[in-house]
Amino acid sequence: MKEHPKIIDRILEGIQPHQSFCIIGHVRPDGDCIGSQMALALALRSEGKQVVCWNDDTVPRKLRFLDPDGLMTRPHSGHSFDCVIATDAASLERVGTIAKHIGQRKLFINIDHHASNTRYADLNWIAAREPSTGELIYRLLRVAKWPITPPIADCLFTAVSTDTGSFQYPTTRPGTYHVAGELVQRGANLERICDEVYQSYPLARVRLLKHVYNQFRLTHDNQIAWFWLKKRDFTRAGADTSDAEGLIDHIREMEPVVVACVLEELEPELTRISLRSKDSRVNVNHIAAQFGGGGHSAASGARIAGRPLAVQRRVVAAIKKAIDAAKL
């Protein structure tokens, strides 16, 4: 394994004397977030630590198999911890209401791979070149010499696989395949993971997908694809917000499209945007940053206040400007 950064030693030194831990993740958790949280929690428990996992939102249906014992819960007041560890959260705002429940702590650790990370903790391990936080947790466990059991391997493989688009995104590196192979060797159940994560979509999601194909729009010589998800669309489909994860890939995959965008209604005048780029010359992290958001060069997002049509016009205009600047 490649030489590890000194920050890992500092994190392990920080963890060692403490007994009570809270592992937190970002709102609208994805596979990398849940997988990283659960893997670290299980590893700490195996070392005799007391651990809880907190998320503002519930675990998406397709990821519940990673938490059969219900370790993941919603945050609540009145708790103090020796150590709080945030995984896959680029800013304190991204953890939602959890932020106001973790003030009673001795040490705060931040482990993440987003270039936009604001380094909000006492110890910050930010590795922006890594395609997933799951890889960072894997490296942490290896350096610590903590056992990677089959349940931990399931969590980490899910984290690595989902955040690389099943190893298809250009962020995927040679080391990613090595980590995936090591996790399979340690008992990751590929059949179960693939079935739960990729082949068990509820009908509600299919109804949302039908909406996407009926409603998506193309502009700027078909280089930009976008669609809206309104609250009424979720209601009609009988879906929740977790069912929308990955829908953007269906319009991103069209041959002429360079940037795909989803605009999701959160409130009448608050819109969540998700951006995906499949050309390295168009960095959607820079686009999201214009609206107070962030993420990666190929995948980013933001929350934007304002009237929906005005938000749509501003976002599409920013995407057009970025594509034109890239001279595609």
Q: Based on the fold, state whether residues 74 and 162 are members of the same structural domain.
A: yes
Q: Which helix (H) or strand (E) holds 152?
A: helix 150-163
- Nearest of 87, 35, 86, 26 to residue 57 by alpha carbon: 26
Same domain, 136 and 222: no
Say if 29 falls within a structural domain.
yes
Domain presence at residue 132: yes
pLDDT of residue 3: 56
Distance CA 230, CA 227 (A): 10
Q: What stretches in the chain show pLDDT beneath 70?
A: 1-3
Based on the fold, state whether residues 298 and 215 are members of the same structural domain.
Answer: yes
Residues 47 and 194 both lie in one domain: yes
What predicted TM-score, i.e. pTM, was given to this entire model?
Answer: 0.90
- Tell me which of 136, 163, 198 is where a domain ends: 198
Residues 209 and 193 in one domain: no
Of 71, 60, 67, residue with least CA distance to 31? 60
Do 23 and 133 belong together in one domain? yes
Overall domain count for the chain: 2
**Domain closes at, from 166, 198, 230:** 198
E strands present in 39-104: 50-54, 72-73, 81-87
Retrieve residue 312's tokens: 């749509």
What pLDDT score does 2 carry? 54
As a whole number of angstroms, the distance between CA 283 and CA 276 comes to 9
The verdict on 154 and 301 lying in the same domain is: no
| C-alpha closest to that of 84 among 18, 158, 166 | 18
Last residue of one domain, picked from the residues 148, 169, 198:
198
Beta strands 20-24 and 81-87 are parallel
258 neighbors 323 (Cβ within 8 angstroms): yes
The whole-angstrom separation of Cα 219 and Cα 256 is 11
- Asked if residue 273 is part of any domain, the answer here is yes
- Domain-embedded: residue 87: yes
Looking at the domain assignment, is residue 92 inside a domain? Answer: yes
1 lies in some domain? no
79 & 155 share domain: yes
Is residue 95 a part of any domain in this protein? Answer: yes
CATH of the domain at 56: 3.90.1640.10
Sheet holding 50-54, edge to edge: 72-73, 50-54, 20-24, 81-87, 105-112, 123-126
Radius of gyration of the chain (CA): 20
CATH code where residue 317 lies: 3.10.310.30
DSSP sequence for 234-300 = HHHHT--GGGGTTTHHHHHTSTT-SEEEEEEEEETTEEEEEEEESSTTS-HHHHHHTTT-EE-SSEE
Q: Does residue 86 belong to any structural domain of this protein?
A: yes
Q: Are residue 17 and residue 162 in the same domain, yes or no?
A: yes
Residue 20 tokens read as: 């009570």
Please give the residue range of the domain that contains residue 130. Answer: 6-198
Same domain, residue pair 172 and 212: no
User: Sheet harboring 259-267: ordered strands across?
Assistant: 217-219, 224-229, 259-267, 270-277, 299-305, 294-295
**Cβ distance 52 to 76 under 8 Å?**
no
Q: What is the per-residue pLDDT for 76?
A: 85
CA nearest to 156, candidates 87, 98, 108: 87
Same domain, residue pair 249 and 307 = yes
Q: Are residues 54 and 156 in the same domain?
A: yes
- What lies within 8 Å, CB to CB, of 201 at 6+ separation is 62, 243
